[in-house]
Amino acid sequence: MNQIKYGMVIDLRRCIGCHTCEVACKMENRVPLGVWPAWVKEIEKGFYPNVRKSFLPLLCDHCDNPSCVTVCPTKASFKRKDGIVIIDPHTCIGCRYCMMACPYAVRYVHPIQKIVQKCSFCSHRIDAGLKPACVDACATGARVFGNLLDPKAEVAILKNTHAVQTIKPEYGTHPNIYYIGLDKDAVSLTGKEKGKAS
């Protein structure tokens, strides 16, 4: 089988919240100040002494049914044959409709180019036979990247032999980032920012 659908499994039992993926992504993709294609949401919950920190590494979900691609008026956002959703920087007019439609808020306006950008799974690295920068940089091996359709790939084995969950599956976008041990409290909006009154 030579069909390819790239995806990622993030094993949250291993994530220590070091933000290395975030920094590696910014370095690799030359992301300007103030915007992040990938980041780690961090929450703190419970009452002393029974407390816990939860981490939620976020990036583009490269959905099977991407709502950004549905609404892009110039086909600048498109899905490659290998499943990666990317933005053609020469076609995007910066209308931000994809940002309105994306349920995961992973898109941002490039402050210099004034077009919309997001995580591309480091498509330039994949085309060169490498893994995405965040995967290579992950200190604990929590991020596993590969072809979800290849039954021998580590990512497919992890996904098929563990209890996995995606973020916001209810929107029917079929995300391709699977989390092992996803914390509902980290995904939901019930938390408040520390230091701010409700």
Partner 1 sequence: MIDILYNVGHQEAAGALIAIYFYLTGISAGSFIVSTLAYVFGQTKFKPIGRIAVVLATVVLILAPMALLIHVGRPFRAWRLFYNINFTSPISWGSFLLTLYPINCIIYGYFIFKNNAKMTKLFGTIGIPLAVAVHGYCGFILGFAKARHLWNTALMPILFLVSAIVSGVALVIFVVYIKDRFFSQEGKVNEALIFGLAKLMGGFLLLDLFLVLSDVLILLAGSEDAIKAGWLLLTGKFAIPFLGIENGLGKVIPAILVFSTRLRTTNRVVLASFLVMFGILFMRLVVVLAGEFFPLI
In the bound complex, what is the minimum distance in angstroms from residue 12's beta carbon to partner 1? 15
Q: Does 36 bind partner 1 (CB under 8 A)?
A: yes
Residue where the block lists tokens 């920094």? 23
Q: Name every residue whose Cβ is closer than 8 Å to that of residue 97 and which is 6 or more positions away in sequence.
A: 71, 72, 73
Q: Contacting partner 1 (CB under 8 A), which of 13, 30, 81, 194?
A: 194
Q: Which of 18, 23, 103, 157 binds partner 1 (CB under 8 A)?
A: 103
Contact 188, 170 (CB under 8 A): no
User: Alpha-carbon distance 125 to 90, whole Å?
Assistant: 20
Contacts with partner 1, 73-102, as mask; x by CB under 8 A: xxxx--------------xxxxxxx-xxxx
Give 177's strand partners. Answer: 8
Which residues is 11 bridged to in the sheet?
A: 180
Our finding on whether 67 is near partner 1 (CB under 8 A) is yes
- Among residues 10, 40, 85, 135, the one that binds partner 1 under rule CB under 8 A: 40
Of 5-13, 142-150, 152-160, 182-190, the window that binds partner 1 (rule: CB under 8 A) is 182-190
Cβ density class 23-48: b for 16+ within 10 Å, e for less: bbbbebbebeeeebbbbbeebeeeee
Q: Does 122 bind partner 1 (CB under 8 A)?
A: no
User: Which segment (51-59, 133-141, 153-161, 174-182) binds partner 1 by CB under 8 A?
Assistant: 51-59
Residues binding partner 1: what is the number (CB under 8 A)?
53
CB of 130 vs partner 1, minimal distance in Å:
25
* 181 forms part of the interface with partner 1 (CB under 8 A): no
Structure tokens at 112: 């210099």
Among candidate residues 9, 14, 3, 59, the one with its CA nearest the CA of residue 159: 9
CA distance 78 to 194: 38
**Binding interface with partner 1 (CB under 8 A):** 35-36, 39-47, 53, 56, 58, 67, 70-76, 91-97, 99-105, 108-109, 113-116, 167-168, 171, 185, 187, 189-194
